[in-house]
């Protein structure tokens, strides 16, 4: 499940992944939030966090995740990933150079620092 987090600036999409994330979560929650933000802003930011009960992604969700980044490559300004999930940490370390914006990885204990970084002026 994907939950959109509140109390962030309008150009920031902040989300928490809980339990098993599905393609339907992307189609029904995340993609509409991104498209709405892109109507209002030339560039947007993403704060992605996993909750303690996060169990992973369905195959369809993984595909949707890849598509989101590829469909709007120049519209991302900053991405913060907040997680203690080892395979996500490793994927970020291996592939963040492919993301065409500033990215930063934070352990779950540093959510406040991630929040400050994602909303900070450039």
Q: What is the pLDDT of residues 58-96, one digit of tens each?
A: 887 777 776 776 677 789 999 999 999 999 999 899 988
Please identify, in words, the CATH class of the domain defined by 2-119: alpha beta
Report how far residue 108's alpha carbon sits from residue 56's, in angstroms, rounded to the nearest whole number.
16
Tokens of 19: 């339990």
HSE-up of 34 (CA within 13 Å, CB side)? 24
Q: Can you give the residue ranges of every domain in the chain?
A: 2-119
Percent of the chain scoring above 90 in pLDDT: 74
What is the structure's pLDDT at 11?
A: 97
Provide the pLDDT confidence category of residue 50 given band limits of 50, 70 and 90. very high
Which residue(s) pair with 13 in the sheet? 46
Report how far residue 111's alpha carbon sits from residue 76's, in angstroms, rounded to the nearest whole number.
20
Question: Which one, of 111, 105, 77, 100, lies nearest residue 90 by Cα?
Answer: 105
* Contacts with 82 (C-beta within 8 Å, 6 or more apart), sequence order: 47, 48, 49, 50, 106, 107, 108, 110, 111, 114
* Contacts with 47 (C-beta within 8 Å, 6 or more apart), sequence order: 5, 8, 12, 13, 14, 15, 79, 80, 82, 114, 115, 118
């Amino acid at each position: 499940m994907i939950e959109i987090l509140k109390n962030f600036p309008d150009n920031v999409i902040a989300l928490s992944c809980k339990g098993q994330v599905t393609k339907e979560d992307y189609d029904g929650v995340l993609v509409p939030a991104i498209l709405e933000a892109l109507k209002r802003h030339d560039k947007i930011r993403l704060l992605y966090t996993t909750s303690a009960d996060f169990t992973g992604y369905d195959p369809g969700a993984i595909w949707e995740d890849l598509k989101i980044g590829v469909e709007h490559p120049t519209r991302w300004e900053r991405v913060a990933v907040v997680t203690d999930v080892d395979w996500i940490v490793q994927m970020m370390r291996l592939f963040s150079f492919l993301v065409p914006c500033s990215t930063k990885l934070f352990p779950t204990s540093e959510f406040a620092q991630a929040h400050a970084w994602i909303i900070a002026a450039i």
